[in-house]
Amino acid sequence: MSSINFVFTLRNLAAAAPGGRPYRAFSCSFQAVLCAVLILSCAARAGARPLQVLAFGDSLTAGYGLAAQDAFPAQLERRLRADGFDASVTNAGVSGETSADGLARLDFSLQPGTDLVILELGANDMLRGLPPKAARENLEKMVDAIRARGAQVLLAGMKAEANFGPDYKAQFDAIFPELAKERSLRLYPFFLEGVAGDQALVQSDGLHPNPKGVARVVAGIAPLVEECLRRGGGKPTSDLRR
């Protein structure tokens, strides 16, 4: 029962109460309960806040070559709000960053009250041919640090190009599914799923998504993001009104 319906129910009961002292006593009780309901209702509204999502990554998160409103965090926020989630997505992407760079700035970027971190790093480690073992260790440390701060982690996977050879590719590609399994993480296996290699969805460099490509990424990952938010207690406003 909503606070408004509860108030009207009490008011109707008060109107039906017999006259005299019993009525006055009931009226006083009604006024006290009414005040308590209003106070609790105001407190609940004051305590409400948007769900905080941190998109933490490299140029794929930052929106390299795109207007701010076309970048991944902005498009994801619009999708979440369209699906009824009162959520804010912060763009914490820095172009060119490796997993080591991300680890170095994580504490600064991870603000109190963050509910979910989408961890999207590793592509630049791969493009520079850095050791997969080091990338994995950096990602592990970030996952542990994020969880220690009370936030969930959604791991966004990446796949290696073939130019460093099959052994490197096998080691790099295994980082994300193995880490997700060991740390019981939700995993989006390949951040650029459905985008990589499609010239209609990437910019002229052939690597970074254009606005349509970002929309494809959002369409793929949004259900997992929403699942994580529900697991953390977040609900669409349509669910809250039921």
Q: Where are the beta strands (DSSP E) in 58-145?
A: 87-93, 116-120
Map tokens 């990589």 to a residue. Answer: 196
Q: Catalytic site residue 3? A: no
Residues, the chain = 242
Sheet holding 87-93, edge to edge: 87-93, 51-57, 116-120, 152-156, 186-188
Which one is catalytic: 3, 125, 205, 238? Answer: 205
Active site residue 83: no
Helix (H) or strand (E) holding 3, with range, is: helix 3-16
Q: Tell me if residue 59 is catalytic.
A: yes
Q: How far lies 136's CA from each of 93, 98, 130, 140, in Å?
A: 19, 11, 11, 6
Residue 177: count other Cβ atoms within 10 Å of its Cβ: 14
Distances (CA, A) of 50 to 19, 47, 73, 209, 216: 48, 10, 15, 28, 25
Give the active site residue among 99, 115, 125, 208: 208
Alpha-carbon torsion 20, 22, 26, 28, what sign? Answer: positive
Select which of 2, 29, 59, 95 is catalytic: 59
Number of CB atoms found within 10 A of residue 42's CB: 11
Catalytic residues, by residue number, are: 59, 205, 208
